[in-house]
Amino acid sequence: MDMEIDQQVALDEALVPHASRLRIRKSNFRLRLHITSKESTLQLAHDVL
């Protein structure tokens, strides 16, 4: 099992080096729902959250 994890870590590092990774953190950010957007991006973000 450790060998699989090591292989996955090596693959992850090869695809996206640690220094280039985007750090994702939790936040209390809320989208303003009264904003109208002509693009579907805001609606998609709302649906995902």
Q: How far apart are CA 12 and CA 49, in angstroms?
A: 26
Residue 28's pLDDT is what? 66
How confident is the model at residue 43, as a pLDDT?
65
Write out the chain's pLDDT in tens, 49 residues.
688 999 999 998 898 888 887 777 776 666 666 666 556 666 666 666 6
At residue 8, the pLDDT reads 92
Q: What's the CA gap between 21 and 9, in Å, rounded?
A: 13
| pLDDT in the model for residue 49 | 62
pLDDT at 20: 81
**Domain locations in the chain as residue ranges:** 2-48
